[in-house]
Amino acid sequence: MKSIVGLGRFAATVITIATLGACGGGGGDGGPATFQQAALVDITSASARAVAAQGMDAAGAGGSGAGFLTVTGVELSAAPAEAASAFAALSDALRLSLRPRRSAALVGVVTTETVACSGGGSVTIAANVADPNVPTAGDSASLSFANCVEDVGTMNGGLSFGFAQIDAAAKYVVADATANQFTVTVAGAGPRLNGAIRLTIDLRDPALEVVRVTSEQFSFDRMLNGNVHATRTLLGFDYASTLTVASLSTSETFSYTLSGSFPRLGEVSMVVATTQPVVTADGALHPTSGAAKITGRDNKSVSITVVPTGLQLDVDTNGDGINTDVQFTATWAEIDGEL
């Protein structure tokens, strides 16, 4: 499975989940506590590149690929196999949670099992299913990871899943996931998730694979060698990805408010949204088209557009919403360097 820290190839998650048949459950009450949103960032010609990098990278909380940024529309320079994907990891977790369904002798009773992960480590799964043969709304599973190595990286922490809606063929699934210090890393780097997320997967059209990820509030931290490199809370998170089966290209949109502490920027918040879908071809390291806008203090903004050499940044430094006061391009490597 390919994975990138960002939104890009999140559609790969759909392929894995499509094999599910059932599992998961729960949501629970593990949502993030109320927090104080930071002041909106002051977007200037000097800060625009860092704002673009951090704003787009946070979208990676929703995907497994590289939309822009290893996470959304502004993809980074890291190769897909080198970056940890939060939601591709969720896909692996869902697949692992099927084990108790297969082995459960009783239904309507919580069964617990510890299984080995394919690359080392283990995961302990507690599942409660109504029918071991048929996926059912209300089924649930809680997973505790201990250095569990799968395709997406090394997983630690806890996850719980609950099916809110699922059809008999598992072609349309609405699942609630709650993350508790859930971390997935590759070479010491990757995301850490906390909070509640809803995933909707629609495979009813054989030509398309559609995924939507939403959350009122959750945290998505960037980890590096066990240390927190950036702390981020996402509000009103809404991400959608459509994979065209024939071409394996993906089209993504997203919107959210981001608040946290970032290198080069400090404690700030910003509003992020696509203005054009971010399109990435099969096997491509970077998107071929797409645009987004990040808005900060006094309506100042930076508009981000994919161009052949990387990204074009159009900066509105006075907040009039009309004129582009500063315009420049940045390579993927330059954007990556801001993180």
The answer to whether 313 and 48 have CB atoms below 8 angstroms apart is: yes
Q: How many CB atoms lie within 10 A of CB 307?
A: 10
Q: What pLDDT band is residue 12 in, cutting at 50, 70 and 90?
A: very low
Mean of pLDDT over the chain: 76
pLDDT digits (tens, 9 = 90+) for 307-333: 988 899 999 999 998 767 889 999 888
Mean pLDDT of 299-312: 92
29, pLDDT greater than 70? no
Q: How many CB atoms lie within 10 A of CB 112?
A: 11
Name 194's Cβ contacts closer than 8 Å, sequence gap at least 6. 30, 32, 179, 180, 181, 182, 218, 219, 221
SS3 of residue 295 by DSSP: strand
pLDDT digits (tens, 9 = 90+) for 247-287: 999 898 999 999 988 888 999 999 999 999 999 888 887 88
pLDDT digits (tens, 9 = 90+) for 114-123: 888 889 999 8
Among 79-83, 204-208, 251-255, the range scoring the smallest mean pLDDT is 79-83
Among 85-89, 103-107, 303-307, the range scoring the smallest mean pLDDT is 103-107
Instruction: Please compute, for residue 55, the number of CA atoms within 13 A of its CA located in the half-sphere on the CB side.
Output: 32
Burial (CB < 10 A; 0-12, 13-18, 19+), residue 204, is exposed
pLDDT digits (tens, 9 = 90+) for 161-201: 888 888 877 788 888 989 999 988 888 888 888 999 998 88
pLDDT score, position 89: 64
18, pLDDT greater than 50? no
What is the separation of C-alpha 63 from the centre of its chain, rounded to a whole number of angstroms? 3
